Amino acid sequence: MRKNLVIRSGSLRMGGLERVLIEMLQNLDKNRYNISLIIEDDSGKENVFLDQVPKGIDIYFLKPEDLIAKTHYHRERKKNLYHKFMYNLLMSKEHSFVIRRTQEVLQEIEKRYGEIEVFLDYDWGARRYVEKLKAKRKIVWIHNSVPKLLKKESKIVRFGKNLAKYDTVVAICDDMKKELEDIYPYLKGHVERVYNPFNFKRILDLAEDKMGLTENQKTLLEDDYIIAVSRLDTVQKDYATLIKGYSLAQESGVKEKLYIVGDGPDRKEIESLIKESRLEDKIILIGKTTNPYVWMKNSKLFVHSSNYEGLPTVLIEAMICGKVVISSNCPTGPYEILKGGQCGVLFPVGDYKALSSGLQNLLNNSLELEKYEKTIEERVLEFRSDIVIKEYESIIES
C-alpha cells in the first residue's frame, strides 16, 4: 500500500529551491508514495515549473494570484503610512487564510487517500502553524544558513522553537547541519543531512539545447564570457562585489564579458551598478530562463558572490556542465561543495579584490583551469539523483 505523502512549498516560480523540488517530485518512487503537492503562491504565468510536475501528483494552490498582487502593490509603497497599514493588514489576512486553506486541503487529501502519514515542509513556510496540521510525521527541509538569513537574535530563537515542532529537520549540507545543532543543541538527534538531487542526463541534454534561444541570444552564446546565475537580489547575492571585482579584472586585462542569468526584485539596482561602472557593453543581463545550462556549458567559468547560502544549487549544476567555479566562501555550502578549494576557487565574502585576482588567475592560466576541471568530475558524482533520492526516501520512511 502506498504511503500518503504531502509536500508543501512556497512557489513554482524560477529559483534554485524550486528546481530541486521538481527534481525530487520527478524521482520519488510513485509506487511507494501517493504524493500531493501544496503550493502557497499561485503566481499565474510565473509558475514556470508547473508543467514539470509529474502527472498523477495532485496540486493545490493556496493564495490566489489577485490576493498576492494586492499585497505586493502595498508592499512596494510601504513608505507611505496608508500603504504600510494596508500591507500589514493584508499580511495578517493572508496568514489566517493560508492556515485555514491548508487545513481544508489536508482534509480533502485525507478523505481521498486516507490518513496523511508524512507532511514534508520543503521551504519551512509552515513553521508558524505546523502544530495545527494533522499528519503522523512532520519533516522540514532547511535550505539556508539560519543566522545569516534571520540575523536578529530574537528571530533566530523563535525559529528554533518552530523547528522543534517537527519530527525531523533536514539540512542540505554538513556545514548547515553542524550550524543548526550548534545554535539549537536541543535539536541534536533530530537533524539529518541530505544533499540536493541532480539529474545529470537532463542537465547535460539541456546544456546542448539551443532551441529556446532567440537569434540574438545565439549570437551572445558565441562570445567569450564568464557567467553568474542567481536571483537578482543584492542583499543575499552581493552583486556589488561581483560587479566591482569584474570591473577591476577588466581594468587588469580580462577581456571576457560577464553574463548574468536570472531575474528578481533588484534588477533596476543592478542595472544602476552596471551603468555606474560604465560596463553596459560588458555585463549582459540575460534574464530568467528555465534552461540556464546552455549558458553555463558555453561559458569559460562560473562565478558566485553570495553573502550566504544553503547549498547553492547553481555551483553543482555548473560543475556538472564541466565548469570551474570561483565562489565566495560564504556560509553555508561553497566550502563543502568545492572541498575547501580543491575543486574550485574560494574568496572571502565581500572581497572584490580577491575575486578579481581569482578571475585573472583562472582566465589567464589555462593550466590552472585544467587542474580544477580534473577534480570536479569525481566530486559531482555525490550529488547524482539516483543516490540522493534513496536518502530522501530513507528520511520519509524512518
Domains, the chain, with CATH or none? 3-197+384-397 (3.40.50.2000), 200-383 (3.40.50.2000)
Place of cell 501517493: 34
pLDDT of residue 80: 92
- 4-56 pLDDT tens trace: 999 999 999 988 789 889 999 999 999 999 999 999 999 998 899 999 999 99
Task: Note the pLDDT of residue 57.
Answer: 96
Over the stretch 139-169, which tens digit does the pLDDT of each residue have? Answer: 999 998 898 788 899 999 999 999 999 999 9
Q: What is the Cα–Cα distance from 234 to 200, expressed in whole angstroms? A: 30
* pLDDT (0 to 100) of residue 151: 82
Is residue 187 classed as helix, strand or coil in its secondary structure?
A: helix
Q: Element (H or E) spanning 35, and its range?
A: strand 33-41
Nearest in space to 32 (alpha carbons), one of 396, 398, 384: 396
DSSP output for 338-365: TGGGTSSEEE-TT-HHHHHHHHHHHHT-
Residue 62, C-alpha cell as written in the block: 493556496
SS3 (DSSP) at 136: coil
Identify the segments of the chain with pLDDT beneath 70.
Answer: none
pTM of the model: 0.76
Note the pLDDT of residue 398: 82
What pLDDT was estimated at residue 290?
Answer: 83
Cβ atoms of residues 313 and 19 within 8 Å: yes
C-beta neighbour count of 188 within 10 angstroms: 10
Count Cβ atoms below 10 Å from residue 145 Cβ, excluding itself. 22
pLDDT for residue 310: 79
